Amino acid sequence: MKDKEQTKRKLIQAVGEIIKSKGYIGLGVNKIAKKAGVDKTLIYRYFGGVNYLIEAYVIEKDYWMTLSEEVKEMIEKNKGLSSQVLITEILQNQFKFFFSEQEMQDLIILEISTESSLMQSIHNVREGMGRQLLELTDNQFNNTNVNFRAISALLVGGIYYSVLHTRFNGDMICDININSIEGRNEIIRAIQQIVSWAYQEAENNSATIT
């Protein structure tokens, strides 16, 4: 059993190393097995195929996947309560996680730059989790002029773009140095402000409608 787990770990690590050096197109059975130093038949024996092996790697590195159980618990605890604090915390943590995890950055680059049924499947799972979270906001935003799903899309997209932009094009974006602690704290504070403004606008609009 120990040897099996060690082999699985080698294969998952090999996937990450290949993605870093050659991208998604380098993830063939032979190349992964060679990088891991194991027989390629073990990929099928332990994972059922290359796609399932890659999926195992992604589950370890994707923010939403790694937090899936935690997010489900947070959703359950916050039913019936204001979702503002929960949503703010999740988006702020997503920014921190995405900035610090280059492998997650590489996965997002793959997702948006290649046509892959596997990446599409992972995207769909992530969207499903996001949908559950956004449903918690419906009590605050239904029957108002605020589309919080659209706001969330811009926040998530902004998180991805700002981090990737500074990774490849220097420290600065919109005159903020995201590679500095002060700059990252400004982004984190801005996320809180935007979510707060959205909730306040919805509350004001709801009162006006009433």
Q: Tens of pLDDT along 27-75? A: 889 999 999 999 999 999 999 888 888 888 877 777 766 666 666 676 6
User: Quick one: tokens of 156?
Assistant: 């998530």
Rounded to whole angstroms, the Cα distance separating 88 from 43 reads 40
pLDDT digits (tens, 9 = 90+) for 147-164: 999 999 999 999 999 999
Q: Which of 141, 129, 132, 106 is nearest to 26 (CA)?
A: 106
DSSP helix/strand/coil, 177: strand
CB 14 within 8 A of CB 28: no
For residues 189-196, give the mean pLDDT.
Answer: 98
Least confident of 116-125, 165-174, 178-187: 116-125
Q: Look at residue 67 in the predicted model and tell me its pLDDT.
A: 64
| pLDDT above 60 for 207 | no
CB 86 within 8 A of CB 93: no
| pLDDT above 80 for 99 | yes
Residue type, 193: Q
CB atoms within 10 A of CB 105: 18
Q: Look at residue 209 in the predicted model and tell me its pLDDT.
A: 55
User: Quick one: tokens of 111?
Assistant: 């997702």
Over pLDDT 70: what percentage of the chain? 87
* In the chain, domain spans: 2-59, 62-209
Q: Look at residue 172 in the predicted model and tell me its pLDDT.
A: 92
Distance between terminal CA atoms of the chain? 64
CATH architecture of the region 2-59: Orthogonal Bundle (1.10)
CA 44 distance to own-chain centroid:
27
Over pLDDT 90: what percentage of the chain? 40
Q: Which of 112, 103, 94, 102 is nearest to 184 (CA)?
A: 94
Rounded to whole angstroms, the Cα distance separating 173 from 161 reads 10
